[in-house]
Amino acid sequence: MTWQSMALGEAITLKRGYDLPSKKRVNGKIPVYSSSGRSGFHNEVAVHGPGVITGRYGTIGEVFYAEDDYWPLNTTLYVSDFKGNYPHFIYYLLKTINWNNYTTASAVPGINRNHVHHCVVTIPDLTTQYKIAYVLGAYDKQINYLAQANGHLLEQFVLAA
């Protein structure tokens, strides 16, 4: 197992999302991502999945994984090039970055991708990336299952009261 330290920009390329005013959206099956996550659907693809998206303006520090094609809005940054790295691992890697260290000083905090590209990260070989993403993905699935079960139990409790 080999780990290598490098600038984030050497491991991936982040790009600004695309403009899509709500009045120009046509309801479809393609998820639209804003800085706070999935915010609707559109009928056109902007980026082919899998993809990793994070907030550029507004909500900073949230990271989202899109298994399939999607549309990242202009309030986001998305990975346009994984440079041979495993996308699901990159999703977990980006969740470890303290995005607030890269915000600009303004009325609405924002992330400059050129600054975050200099963030030093440590990345393992591809086989280890798969293993790490598999284990973390299994935990995420279990957490989601338990959250759904809790929601159902709470619903039953409220109905019984």
CA proximity to 93, closest of 83, 107, 103: 83
Confidence of residue 125 (pLDDT cuts 50, 70, 90): very high
User: Could you tell me where the DSSP H helices lie in 32-125?
Assistant: 87-94, 113-116
**pLDDT on residue 100:** 85
Mean pLDDT of the 103-123 span: 87
* Residue range 3-160, CATH number: 3.90.220.20
Least confident of 29-43, 53-67, 96-110: 96-110
Question: Cβ distance 42 to 20 under 8 Å?
Answer: yes
Q: How do residues 50-99 score in pLDDT, each as one tens digit?
A: 999 999 988 888 999 999 999 999 999 999 999 999 999 999 999 999 99
> How far, in Å, are 27, 38, 77 from residue 63 at the CA level?
24, 11, 10
CA angle 2–8–83, rounded 5-degree value? 70
